[in-house]
Every structure is written in C-alpha cells, then in structure tokens.
C-alpha cells in the first residue's frame, strides 16, 4: 500500500515521466561530461552498457513476445511486447551504471551511499510505475530489473577486467 501511494504521488508530480523521458538526455549528458574530462574508458562503459542493454531488451521482447495485461485499462498507449519491461530494464542499466560510476569517482562514503540510493530508488519508481500504469505484469518488471542488473554488472565486470589488464586506468582513462 505504501509503495502504491509513493508511486502515485511521484507520478502526479511528473517524476516518473521525467525519469523515463530524461534517460536519453542523461546518457548523452553523462557521456559528454566524461569525454570532456577525458575519461574515455568510463564514457565507453556508459555507452556500451546502455546501448547494448537497449539491443538486449529488444531481442528479449521479440523472443518472448508476451502480450500486455488486459486486466485493467492502460493509462498510456503501448504497442510493443510486454516481457521483460524495457523501461525497468533500461532504467536499471542506466541509473545503476551511472550511480556506480559516479560513486566510484566520489571520495566520501556518504556521497557514495547517496548516489547508489538515488540510483536504486529511481530504478524502483520507474519499474513500479509500469505496473501502476497497467502496461506490465509485476513479473515483467521483476524480469526487467533482473536482466538490467545482470547486464550492468556484466559491463562493470568487463570494465574492472580492463582496468586489471591496464587498458583502462582507475580514473576512467584509456
């Protein structure tokens, strides 16, 4: 009940719409910032994580081809397959990748906790909104979060491996 109330309040204030629609802008803004700071390795990590996650989402949707729920009226128009939730998956990939990346560059522990908490909360709200809007089953959202988290962690492990090999330094430079 509390979660539904939180999602409703945030949706009324447009947070969910802003979080969903700003995804591409946040990605481009982040990549631009990292390029200006000459953190090319980190920039490519963000691009590969989000671009690859988008392709993975499309492939999974076509593979499963699950219809949208018809239990309640949809509050928005959607036409793509339901499983997994692309918004949940890409939200998890984008916000968790950026939160973890920013936390890695932060020096204070409370700043790291803040960045990761905001990333996780934003991911949760975007996913919960999809169920609230009636366009996804809860299992679609859980699958999207899971696939997004697995993809983000895979990208992060590849980045760590490249750091270990010396291809990318700790500061995110090639």
From residue 72, how far is each of 29, 43, 174 by CA, in Å? 37, 41, 50
Burial readout 3-35 (b: 16 or more C-beta within 10 A, e: otherwise): eeeebeebbeeebbeebbeebeebbeebbeebe
Among 136, 143, 148, 152, which one carries the catalytic annotation? 136
136 is catalytic: yes
Helices 23-36 and 86-105: crossing angle in degrees, nearest 10, is 30
Catalytic residue among 39, 61, 87, 130: 87
Handedness of CA 21, 24, 28, 31 (dihedral sign): positive
Known catalytic membership, residue 74: no
> What residues act catalytically?
87, 136
């Amino acid at each position: 009940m509390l979660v539904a109330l939180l999602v409703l309040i945030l949706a009324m204030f447009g947070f969910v719409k802003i979080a969903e629609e700003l995804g591409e802008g946040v990605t481009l803004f982040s990549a631009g910032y990292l390029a200006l700071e000459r953190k090319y390795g980190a920039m490519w990590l963000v691009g590969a994580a989000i671009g690859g996650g988008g392709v993975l989402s499309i492939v999974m949707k076509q593979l499963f081809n699950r219809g949208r729920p018809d239990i309640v009226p949809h509050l928005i128009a959607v036409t793509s397959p339901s499983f997994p939730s692309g918004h949940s998956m890409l939200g998890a990939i984008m916000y968790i990748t950026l939160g973890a990346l920013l936390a890695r560059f932060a020096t204070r522990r409370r700043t790291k906790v803040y960045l990761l908490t905001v990333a996780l909360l934003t991911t949760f709200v975007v996913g919960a909104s999809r169920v609230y809007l009636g366009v996804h089953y809860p299992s679609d959202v859980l699958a999207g979060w899971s696939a997004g988290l697995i993809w983000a962690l895979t990208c992060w492990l590849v980045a760590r491996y490249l750091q270990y090999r010396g291809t990318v330094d700790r500061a995110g430079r090639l």
